[in-house]
Amino acid sequence: MNDPFSPENTQDPASPVLRAEDLRCDFLTVEGIVYAVNGINLSIGRAEIHGLVGESGCGKSVTSRAIMGLLDRKHSRVKGAVFFDGKNLLGLSERELREIRGKRISMVFQDPLNSLSPLETVGRQIAEAISNHYDLAKDELNKRTAVLLERVGLHPGAAKQYPFELSGGMQQRVMIAQGISCEPDLLIADEPTTALDVTIQAQVLDLLKKLREELSLSVLLITHNFAVVAETCDRVSVMYAGYIVETATAGEFIRNAAHPYSRALIDCIPRGQGGGAARQPLPVIQGFPMRHYDRPAGCPFAPRCPRAEKACGELPRPRDLGGGHLVLCHHPAGEAPAPEGIPSPKGAV
Ligand SMILES: Nc1ncnc2c1ncn2[C@@H]1O[C@H](COP(=O)(O)OP(=O)(O)O)[C@@H](O)[C@H]1O
Ligand code: SF4
Ligand SMILES: [Mg+2]
């Protein structure tokens, strides 16, 4: 069988840069087991910006940390597979992972000030990110640092400044410069613009789009904001209670979201102000999200779902609605009609 992740095939532009298969992450805590990620499949294309969207606590950051091998091995259990460059990252040693982290896959977090050292200049910190993987002379490091600063829209003179001397948006650009310093295949950006005001958010997202073009960079963009999905992402995966409940192109998702959770999020946003759904952060929908200590046998959204019926007592299998639009639901909107006696969510069919 032709395995898209065999080492011979990894340069195929059509093959995904990373694919998580049945990824599961549990935490062992004194209060019980936290089932944070429950068997997700996620495939990130080459030079694709893939949005991972969902309410706070649904498992987005745990997913990204599991991919990077950053979860504490003592208190967590990670199962499944994460294929990258012909290897299953979950089977690699810490030493092998260090070769990949920062060089082939890098990460940008929400709060740059927590990630940057206050005691070193920006230039030094970017140079360090390069020296972690390449042995270069000081002159060469300085040259590369200057190029990186320009690439992320900063003056090379910023190399001599300390993080606290820069605005939040500039600090995030420095983080991105560090992230791309070794020209990685994949950048994972975990809510990179959440702490920034709207205009600066848009500028940072434009920068990610520009870098994707210039460097053929793939980006996993974690967000809880529809504006980011609509304006920045090529594809989106929606996460709920540790499950990916829907994956589609961003356009298809905004127009034809099929999972009742996605529909509820889209339908309860007031339209007509400031660009409608696409400009809003995730709204609050009725009911409570599932607690991660529980893992029901059936659909995790059933307690909040207006279309729930008997069959939903069994966990649905992902259904392909065509064109790469996948949904984890027995009764997705637009495909199967709602079963008799089950009210349709507003605008869903
Ligand atoms: N180290 C940990 N120990 C126990 N539970 C954790 C740990 N890290 C995350 N969790 C739990 O896993 C779930 C998913 O968290 P997270 O991925 O951070 O959510 P988000 O989607 O907001 O990024 C949450 O219920 C969170 O409390
Ligand atoms: S499987 Fe059933 S309960 Fe779950 S989202 Fe679909 S209709 Fe609702
Ligand atoms: Mg998070």
Q: Are the C-beta atoms of 334 and 256 separated by less than 8 Å?
A: yes
Q: What is the SS3 assignment for 71?
A: coil
pLDDT value at residue 9 = 43
Structural domain boundaries, residue 73: 1-44+54-104+229-349
Q: What is the 114 CA–ligand 1 centroid distance (Å)?
A: 18
For residue 220, pLDDT beyond 50:
yes
Ligand nearest to the CA of 298: 2
How many other β-carbons are positioned within 10 Å of the β-carbon of residue 47?
Answer: 15
DSSP β-bridge partners for residue 218: 186
- Which residues fall within 8 angstroms of residue 118, CB to CB, at 6 or more apart? 162, 163, 164
Tell me how far apart the alpha carbons of residues 261 and 303 are, in angstroms, rounded to a whole number: 11
Angstrom distances, CA of residue 239 to CA of 18, 61, 63, 163, 227: 18, 11, 10, 33, 17
Nearest atom (ligand 1) to Cα of 191:
23
Q: What is the pLDDT of residues 134-183, one digit of tens each?
A: 999 999 999 999 999 999 999 999 999 999 999 999 999 999 999 999 99
Q: How many domains does the chain have?
A: 1
Window from 112-116, 208-212, 308-312 with minimum mean pLDDT? 112-116
Ligand nearest to the CA of 58: 1
Tokens of 280: 């809003």
- Which residues fall within 8 angstroms of residue 344, CB to CB, at 6 or more apart? 306, 307, 333, 338
pLDDT value at residue 7 = 44
Q: DSSP assignment, residue 90?
A: G
Nearest Cα neighbor of 175 from 185, 183, 163 is 163
Question: Is 235 close to ligand 2, i.e. is its CB under 6 Å away?
Answer: no
Identify the top-confidence range among 56-60, 177-181, 277-281. Answer: 177-181
**Given the structure tokens 């992450």, which residue do they identify?**
25
Nearest Cα neighbor of 338 from 307, 314, 313, 315 is 307
Tell me how far apart the alpha carbons of residues 153 and 4 are, in angstroms, rounded to a whole number: 36
Arithmetic mean of pLDDT, 301-316: 93
Ligand 3 ion: Cβ-proximal residues, 5 Å cutoff: 61
For residue 289, pLDDT beyond 80:
no
Q: What is the 158 CA–ligand 2 centroid distance (Å)?
A: 52
Q: How far is CA 104 from the centre of its chain?
A: 16
Total-model pTM: 0.90
DSSP β-bridge partners for residue 34: 27
| Residue from 31, 58, 62 whose mutation best tests the ligand 1 pocket (most atoms within 8 A of CB) | 62
Tokens of 140: 């060469």
Beta strands 186-190 and 218-223, pairing class: parallel
| Residue from 34, 37, 292 whose mutation best tests the ligand 1 pocket (most atoms within 8 A of CB) | 34
Question: Is 243 close to ligand 2, i.e. is its CB under 6 Å away?
Answer: no
pLDDT value at residue 194 = 86
Q: What is the 303 CA–ligand 1 centroid distance (Å)?
A: 21
In a domain, 314, yes or no: yes
Q: What is the 297 CA–ligand 1 centroid distance (Å)?
A: 21
Q: Are the C-beta atoms of 104 and 143 separated by less than 8 Å?
A: no
Tell me how far apart the alpha carbons of residues 331 and 281 are, in angstroms, rounded to a whole number: 26
Angstrom distances, CA of residue 19 to CA of 7, 11, 25, 241: 14, 14, 16, 20
In a domain, 70, yes or no: yes
In a domain, 269, yes or no: yes
- CATH number of the domain at 323, please: 3.40.50.300
Q: What is the 59 CA–ligand 1 centroid distance (Å)?
A: 6
Tell me how far apart the alpha carbons of residues 189 and 193 are, in angstroms, rounded to a whole number: 9
Ligand nearest to the CA of 328: 2
Q: What is the 37 CA–ligand 1 centroid distance (Å)?
A: 9
Torsion sign, CA atoms 10, 16, 22, 23: positive
Answer with the residue of higher pLDDT: 193 or 285. 193
Question: Is 302 close to ligand 2, i.e. is its CB under 6 Å away?
Answer: yes
Q: Whose CA is nearest to atom 6 of ligand 2?
A: 329
Q: Whose CA is nearest to atom 2 of ligand 1?
A: 27
In a domain, 276, yes or no: yes
In a domain, 109, yes or no: no
Q: What is the SS3 assignment for 162?
A: coil
Q: What is the SS3 assignment for 190?
A: strand
In a domain, 329, yes or no: yes
